[in-house]
Amino acid sequence: MNAIILAAGMGTRLLPETENIPKGMVKLFDKSLIEMQIEIFKKCGIDDISIVRGYMAEKINFPSITYFKNENFSTTHQNESIYCARQKLNDTIVCYADLVFDISIIKKMIDFNGDIGIAVKSDWKPRYVGRTLHPISEADNVLIDESGKIIEVRKNIQKPNSNIGEFLGIMRLSSKGSSLFLKRFSEPHVGTFHSSPSINQSILPDMIQELIDLGINVEPVMISEKWLEIDTPQDLEFARKVFANTNHRL
């Protein structure tokens, strides 16, 4: 098993923190977000770690890591970055670089035995209380039916009395799941792609929805542990409070 960290984005909403460094290199305490993720993966026995760089790529430099570069990071998005690391996409955990989370989340992703699994939090709405710089309407929602099957993944799903969670930006792909992902991304596509202007500019939830629409089973890995996305300075300050007494600070 290996891990791919997506760290090509510019992180403009986190300015001024990202004025001179990529988003994933912002420090929560004495370690960057990417450094904390690398440590968690290694503690879980995953030593084969790749990082897809883009914006200020030279600022992301850790030993014993494989690097890829999304040369078009300013005009493309997450799915393009995953494709840049396609030679590593096999039995893989894919993770956004701007996340901080408990180690138990990665252990759950390792234990998942399906072809495509995504980390989903059911109790997600309280995190958006007071989060004025990243409103709840921007959450990547996951709609799950009564049988536990994911039927929709997109921002701001509004369906009262439905089981709606939040996609946490962590995905597990088996060898088969990786092949399905790469096959669909490499196929010709003209025009918009779900919520994005094109397939090259598409975000990961777009591709997840595309695979679901093709009849491919994407399963939720339900998460209750601590997890935060660091998208704004407000998020960074909140994370410092939430994770103040955990081993992330060591």
Look at the chain and count its residues. 250
In this prediction, residue 246 carries a pLDDT of 67
Q: Which helix (H) or strand (E) holds 94?
A: strand 92-96
Mean pLDDT by 10 residues, the chain (250 residues): 97 94 94 97 98 98 97 97 98 98 97 98 94 94 96 95 96 98 96 97 98 97 96 94 68
What three-state secondary structure class fits 93? strand
CATH fourth-level superfamily of 2-118+169-207+226-249:
Spore Coat Polysaccharide Biosynthesis Protein SpsA; Chain A (3.90.550.10)
Q: Where are the domains of the chain?
A: 2-118+169-207+226-249
Say if strands 92-96 and 2-7 run parallel, antiparallel, or are unpaired: parallel
Please give the pLDDT value at position 247: 56
| Res 161: pLDDT | 86
**In Å, how far from its chain's centre is CA 194?**
18
In contact, 221 and 108? CB cutoff 8 Å: yes
* pTM value > 0.85: yes
